[in-house]
Amino acid sequence: MSTAVLEVKDVQKIYGTKGESQSHALKGVSMTIDKGEFVGIMGPSGSGKTTLLNVISTLDRPTEGFIEIAGTNITQMKNNQLADFRSQKLGFIFQDFNLLENLSVYENIALPLSLQGVPSKEISNKVSKVAQTLGIEEILQKYPVQISGGQKQRAAAARALVHDPAILLADEPTGALDSKNAKSLLETMTDLNENHQVSIMMVTHDAFSASYCKRILFIQDGKLYTEIQRTGDRQQFFKQILDVLAELGASHDVR
Amino acid sequence: MLLKLSLSSMRKMMKDYLVLLVGLVISISIFYMFQTLALNSDYTKNNSMISSIQIVFNVGAFLLAFITIFYIFYANSFLLSLRRKELGMYMVLGAKKGKISQILFLETLTMGIISLVIGSLVGIALASGIGVLLMNLLEISTDGYYPFYLPAVWMTWGFFLILFIITSTINATRLARATELALIRAEQQNDQIKSKGIGAVLVAILGVILLALGYTCLHLIMYLQALGFIVGAISCTIGTYLIFISLLPVLVQALKKNKKLNDSKLNAFTFAQLRFRVNNLTKILGTVAMLIGLGVGAMAGGLAFQQNVNLFTSVFHVYDVNLHDPVEADYEALKKMNVLEQNTYRYKVDDKAYYYLKEDLLANPLLISTNSTQNYSADNKPKLVTDPLPKETYIISASKEDNGKYDAVPEDWDKAISANFINYQMIEGKSVLVVDQATYEKTAGSEHKVLLAQVDDYLKYTQELKAMDERQKQMIGSIANVEVKDVYTSSKYSTYAGMYIFTSGTMFMGFFLGIAFLAMMASCLMFKILSGASRDKDRYSMLRKIGVRQSLLVGSIYKELFMVFIFPAIIGLMHVLLGMEMFSFILLDPYLNIWIPTLIFVVIYAIYYYITVQLYRGIVLPKEA
Ligand SMILES: Nc1ncnc2c1ncn2[C@@H]1O[C@H](COP(=O)(O)OP(=O)(O)OP(=O)(O)O)[C@@H](O)[C@H]1O
Ligand SMILES: [Mg+2]
């Protein structure tokens, strides 16, 4: 029995129409993420990480290939279906602009549930539960301008998780945080993954952030370059990542 | 190079500039049309009828100019704010501030000149189309009226050019004073969320009280006179602003506090956006409400005056036709009308007096109006004069010699005879008597008759009635020995025609003024909303990413902007509906056909609402694939 939450097969993405200057951002990527995994995506700038995340998160359509999330083929869906799918099955954390600054933290977290028409009482219960998990009960009534960057990303994580998505997608979630806040967010994500069985896919530049993952896929020039699995402790994994990155950089220089 | 950049960015903001342009063209063309009437004194001198409304058009042009000044300043500062970031960028990249100021100056001026060219052309078209149509409608000769009238062109160009030069200069100097950083950061302001407490509620109550006071003053204007008007206008204005400052934010806050509503779909976001708007746009929303009131009021007022002409004439005249010694042509004309009642009354004239035959009067008693301008009601039907006339002779109007010789006729008879039989130019100071058959037969003078008739609807027969009136004037002129153009008849038609021209002119002006006001106000509101749109872009893109359907986002935009547009509309229309009451002391029914200006307003406003939504949507949402 397959426990995959995400299956990507031969996905290609070409930006621009024929005749114009085209950019081949993904050149046939295949990968699988199983339920409960914490997978990192790394690669040099311009390698196609964000593009991959965008086609998986249904924000963009692949030019070619097949993507299945939680048993649903998303490549054939209409726009409205895609939007509904995103709001029900996916959770997002972006680098910034995660929260609407004109809504309170509570309202921000409640948004995915409101969209699904969950009754007000139930929303209230679920929000306080997820806030507890992320340790942000105190700031629920505050507005984004009134809280710190780290708290913002926690609130974003709460917003991403409140509706029990099949998978949590994060694009450089620590990108705008200082190291202390970054570390705390990563530890929270690890906790979510280990103790609450949340499947996570995280795109990152940063080897330190990546070292919190269980498995890392490296992309280069729109293709899967290699993948490494964490076997030992985090320190060791961190070194392993640096090695691969050095290798990647070297191959880049040669070209 | 810089010029090229600025041109390309102007092209990008084409839509915004187009909105500004449309507002300006409307204002300029209407200004021009008013000027063709206001300045052409040769024409108005030859048309005594129209000279009375020349003043109306002068006032109209003045009001229009006044409001246009505000519009131009407002619109320009918005366009500037839209471009601040871009201009700041140029400066950071090393462009000289002076150079940028210069370009900005030229841009604003070019814009003005383009709108002047188009505006004058549209104005000429308006004048030759609508202006001439108006004259024809009023049956005023258009000889000497020129849709293309050079003094009006000079006036329009002179006035607006000065205006544009001033605004361009101000725009350029404003830029020159700003620093690069201030320019770039211009948009990065966060919404401040101020919680409205008990204070706001108090202010809201004060606003409502002031409004009520204002309306009461306007209602009692008959007793309070000028004081009522001044106090009424001031307290209405302040009340309006207070309501927008306090009541609206409190209302939106209340919406948000309703947890069930707030937690449903995208409402939390929609309300949050709305809260930001009502907190930030209080002044402009208040102003828009006031100007909607003025604009619709100008239209409704003009229309009410015009529509009331018919009511007025029916207060003074029961009979539609009133002819002394009708001739064959009059009878022919009467045959074409649907006559409900027609009676003739005989009289004799000698060198001392007019003698009306009592028996004719009693055989077909006259009707008199039971309405007055102070106390009008459509239910007051005319009544028959039934007072008996037992005496031999009664007097209605006495010459010097006859003073005190005879009994006065009962009051109702006096009213009826004065209204229908007596033309003071015609009687030349002679007495007017009512005499019995015997006396009548003894009297030596020539015999005449008066024909009175009621028709189904006299407005259907204005052509015939006008011709009858002309013939009566000829006749009276020859009796009284005055020139025909100086003769005044007391027919229903002549009362009607005199008032109709003046009030139509007023209405015409009111309509165009109203339309210009509304178009300019609606575009101000639109600019204000659009200038904040780029700030909202990130919000919408984030919502889209987390899976909000495009249709839901679009719906939210419609809802939010609808609320923003509807509040001033409601208050503005309320001002009109309650404020029109103040005309009740000169108008019989100020609310006659008020739905017409209301409808025009709703249409114009709805168009601007729709355009605003579309433009805003174009900025914050990507095109659906
Ligand atoms: N909307 C687009 N239109 C055209 N080309 C694009 C578009 N988005 C990305 N590309 C191109 O696709 C390639 C991959 O871009 P992508 O954003 O996925 O890189 P990335 O790995 O996320 O880089 P970074 O680490 O800098 O964020 C790049 O060559 C980029 O120029
Ligand atoms: Mg990227």
Instruction: Please write the tens of the pLDDT for every residue from A81-90.
Output: 888 888 888 8
Q: What is the DSSP string of B546-557?
A: TT--HHHHHHHH
- Chain A residues whose beta carbon lies within 8 Å of the beta carbon of residue B625: 61, 79
Q: Choose between B88 and A219: higher pLDDT.
A: A219
Q: How sure is the predictor about B341, in pLDDT bands with cuts at 50, 70 and 90?
A: confident
Note the pLDDT of residue B624: 55
What pLDDT is attached to residue B48?
Answer: 53
Which of B:176-215 have CB within 8 Å of A? Answer: 190-191, 193
Return the closest-CA partner of residue B426 out of B472, B495, B485, B464: B472
Query: What is the DSSP annotation of B64-107?
Result: HHHHHHHHHHHHHHHHHHHHHHHHHHHHHTT--HHHHHHHHHHH
Q: Which residue reads 């795109």 in tokens?
A: A203
d(CA B201, CA B318) in angstroms, rounded, equals: 55
Nearest CA among A57, A165, A65, A152 for reference residue A115: A165
Whether residue B189 has pLDDT greater than 60? no
- Per-residue pLDDT band for B261 (boundaries 50, 70, 90) equals confident
What atom of ligand 1 comes closest to residue A47's alpha carbon? Answer: 21
Classify residue A131 by burial, with Cβ atoms within 10 Å: 0-12, 13-18, 19+: buried
Q: Which of B190, B268, B625 sits opposite A111 (nearest CB)?
A: B268
**Which residue from A minimizes the CA distance to B549?**
A83
Helix spans in A99-233 (H): 105-115, 120-134, 149-161, 179-195, 207-210
Q: What pLDDT is stored for residue B178 in this prediction?
A: 66
- The per-residue pLDDT for A244 is 86
Give the start-end residues of each E strand in B482-621. none
Judged by CB atoms within 8 Å, which residues 188-247 of A form the interface with B?
A: none
Q: Is the pLDDT of residue B509 over 60?
A: yes
pLDDT surpasses 80 at A240: yes
- Other CB atoms closer than 10 Å to residue A73's CB: what's the count? 11
The structural domains of chain A, ordered by start, are 4-30+37-97+147-254 (3.40.50.300)
Q: Is the pLDDT of residue B234 over 50?
A: yes
pLDDT of B387 reads 84
Percent pLDDT > 90 in chain B is: 2
A32-71 residues labelled b (16+ CB within 10 A) or e (exposed)? ebeeebbbbbbbbeebbbbbbbbbbbbbbebeebebbbbe
- What is the pLDDT at residue B201? 79
The dihedral through the CA atoms of A59, A65, A69, A75 has a sign that is positive
Q: Domain check: are B36 and B181 in the same one?
A: yes
Ranking A118-132, A198-212, B262-276, B460-474 by mean pLDDT, the lowest is B262-276
Total beta-carbon pairs less than 8 A apart between chain A and chain B? 89
Q: Using 50, 70 and 90 to split pLDDT, how confident is the model at B120? A: very high
Q: Which of B375, B305, B311 is nearest to B53 (CA)?
A: B305
At B441 the pLDDT is 87
pLDDT at B351 over 90: no
C-alpha distances out from residue A101 to A45, A106, B179, B315, B536, Å: 30, 12, 27, 65, 10
CB contact under 8 A, B544 and A83: yes
Cα separation of the two ends of chain A: 42
pLDDT, tens only, A35-60: 888 999 998 888 888 888 888 888 88
Candidates B238, B353, B252; CA nearest to B286 is: B238
CB within 6 Å of ligand 1 — which residues? A 15-16, 23, 25, 43, 45-51, 205
B456 and B335 within one domain: yes
Same domain? B291 vs B440: no
Answer whether B305's CB lies under 8 Å from B506's CB. yes
Q: What is the mean pLDDT of residues B547-561?
A: 88
The Cα–Cα gap between B110 and B113 comes to 5
Which segment of B49-53, B164-168, B277-281, B394-398 scores lowest on mean pLDDT? B49-53
Which of A150-164, B1-15, B92-106, B568-582 comes out lowest in average pLDDT?
A: B1-15
Structure tokens belonging to residue B67: 């409001």
Looking at the fold, whether B304 and B341 belong to one and the same domain comes out as no
B518 in a structural domain = no
**pLDDT at res. B187:** 46
Pair (B306, B346) in one structural domain: no
All residues at 6 or more sequence positions from B329 whose CB lies less than 8 Å from its CB, including other chains: B467, B471
Rounded percentage of chain A residues whose pLDDT exceeds 70: 96
- The neighbour count for residue B463, using CB atoms within 10 Å, is 11
Total domains present in chain B? 3
Residue B31 domain-assigned (yes or no): yes
Query: Is residue B188 scored above 60 in pLDDT?
Result: no
B515: pLDDT strictly greater than 60: yes
DSSP one-letter string for A76-133? T--HHHHHHHHHHHEEEE-SS--S-TTS-HHHHHHHHHHHTT--HHHHHHHHHHHHHH
Task: Check pLDDT > 80 for residue B183.
Answer: no
User: Residue B506 — very low, low, confident or very high, per pLDDT cuts 50/70/90?
Assistant: confident
Is residue B11 domain-shared with residue B156, that is, in the same domain?
A: yes
Closest CA to B273 of B538, B561, B524: B561
Residue B427, pLDDT above cutoff 50? yes
Residue B517 lies in a domain: no
| Cα B405 to averaged position of ligand 1 atoms, centre (Å) | 112
Looking at the structure, tell me whether residues B253 and B327 fall in a common domain: no
pLDDT tens per residue, range B138-161: 666 667 778 888 888 999 999 989
In order, the DSSP letters of B384-440 are: E------SSEEEEE--TTTTTTSEEPPHHHHHHHHHHT--HHHHTT-EEEEE-HHHH
Domain of residue B309, residue span? 190-317+493-506+535-625
> What pLDDT does residue A181 have?
82
Q: Is residue B511 part of a domain?
A: no
Q: Do B193 and A114 touch (CB under 8 A)?
A: no
pLDDT of residue B225: 67
Distance in angstroms (rounded) separating the CA atoms of residues A217 and A223: 10
pLDDT tens, A162-198? Answer: 888 888 888 888 887 788 888 888 888 888 888 888 8
Indicate the top mutation candidate among A12, A13, A15, A206 to test ligand 1's pocket, ranked by most ligand atoms within 8 A of CB.
A15
Predicted pLDDT at B119: 92
Chosen domain end from B490, B521, B545: B490
Judgement on whether residues B223 and B179 belong to the same structural domain of the protein: no
Residues B475 and B332 in one domain: yes
Helix (H, G, I), strand (E, B) or coil at B483: coil
Give the separation between CA B556 and CA B550, rounded to whole angstroms: 10
Q: Give B135's strand partners.
A: none
Ion ligand 2 nearby residues (CB, 5 A): A 50
pLDDT at residue B242 greater than cutoff 50 = yes
Average pLDDT over residues A98-110: 86
Structure tokens at A232: 């030992």
CA dist B437 and B439 (Å) reads: 6
Does residue B131 lie in a domain region?
yes
Query: Which of A101-105, A197-201, B92-96, B392-396 is predicted with the least confidence, judged by mean pLDDT?
Result: B92-96
Whether residue B620 has pLDDT greater than 90: no
B269 at A interface, C-beta within 8 A: yes
Model confidence band, residue B1 (pLDDT cutoffs 50, 70, 90):
low
Measure the CA–CA gap between B560 and B314, rounded to whole angstroms: 49
* Long-range CB contacts for residues B331-337, cutoff 8 Å, separation at least 24: B333/B461, B333/B464, B333/B467, B333/B468, B334/B453, B336/B461, B336/B464, B337/B453, B337/B455, B337/B456, B337/B460, B337/B461, B337/B464
Please check whether residue A38 is in contact with residue A212, taking contact to mean a CB–CB distance below 8 angstroms.
yes
Return the bridge partners of A69, or none: A6, A72
B399-420 pLDDT per residue, tens: 777 777 788 888 888 888 888 8
**Average pLDDT of the residues in A230-254:** 78
CA-nearest residue for atom 5, ligand 1, is A15
Which amino acid, B601? Answer: F
Instruction: Decide if A112 touches B, using CB distance below 8 A.
Output: yes
Cα B439 to Cα A60, B347, B356, B434, B436: the distances in Å are 108, 12, 10, 10, 6
What is the predicted pLDDT for the residue at A255? Answer: 36
Nearest Cα residue to A83 out of B108, B554, B501, B315: B554
Residue A253's pLDDT band (boundaries 50, 70, 90)? very low
Structural domain includes residue B453: yes
**Is the predicted pLDDT of residue B117 greater than 90, yes or no?**
yes
What is the pLDDT at residue B46? 60
Using DSSP, state whether B306 is helix, strand or coil: helix
pLDDT band at B121 (very low <50, low <70, confident <90, very high): very high
Gap between the Cα atoms of B145 and B152, Å rounded: 12
The residue among B355 and A21 whose pLDDT is bigger is: B355
- What 3-state class would DSSP assign to B25? helix
HEC string of B211-276 equals HHHHHHHHHCHHHHHHHHHHHHHHHHHHHHHHHHHHHHHHHHHHHHHCHHHHCCCCHHHHHHHHHH
pLDDT, tens digit (0-9, with 9 covering 90-100), for B211-233: 888 888 877 776 776 777 778 87
Pairing of strands B393-397, B407-408: parallel
| B128 lies in the same domain as B15 | yes
Q: Is pLDDT of B190 > 50?
A: no
Share of chain B above pLDDT 70, in %: 89
3-state secondary structure of A67: strand
**pLDDT over 90 (residue A114):** no
B23 domain residue, yes or no: yes
Cα R_g (chain B), whole angstroms: 33
Write down the pLDDT at residue B185: 54
Q: Residue A147: its chain B contacts at CB < 8 A?
A: none
Residue B85 lies in a domain: yes
Do B255 and B335 fall within a single domain? no
Of B158, B188, B218, the last residue of a domain is: B188
Contacts of B259 in chain A (CB under 8 A): 120, 124
Specify the pLDDT at position B464. 86
Same domain, B425 and B303: no
> What's residue B625's pLDDT?
47
Residue B618's nearest CA partner among B19, B4, B5, B111 is B19
Alpha carbon separation from A44 to A49, A53, A225, B559 (Å, rounded): 9, 15, 11, 44
Percentage, residues of chain A above pLDDT 90: 3
Question: Which range has the worst mean pLDDT, A149-153, B239-243, B257-261?
Answer: B257-261
Using the predicted structure, report yes or no on whether residue B39 has a pLDDT greater than 50.
yes
Q: Is B276 on the interface with A (CB under 8 A)?
A: yes
* B193 to A143: CB separation less than 8 angstroms, yes or no: yes
Let me know the angle formed at the C-alpha of B137 by B132 and B140, rounded to the nearest 5 degrees: 70
The answer to whether B321 touches B334, Cβ cutoff 8 Å, is yes
User: Cα B77 to chain center, whole Å?
Assistant: 29
Last residue of a domain, one of B166, B188, B210: B188
pLDDT value for A232:
83
* Mean pLDDT score, B252-260: 80
Sign of dihedral through CA atoms B430, B434, B439, B440? Answer: positive
pLDDT digit string (tens) for B42-70?
766 665 555 656 666 777 777 777 777 87
B535–chain A Cβ distance below 8 A for any pair: no
A117-168 pLDDT tens trace = 888 888 889 898 888 888 888 888 888 888 888 888 888 888 888 888 888 8
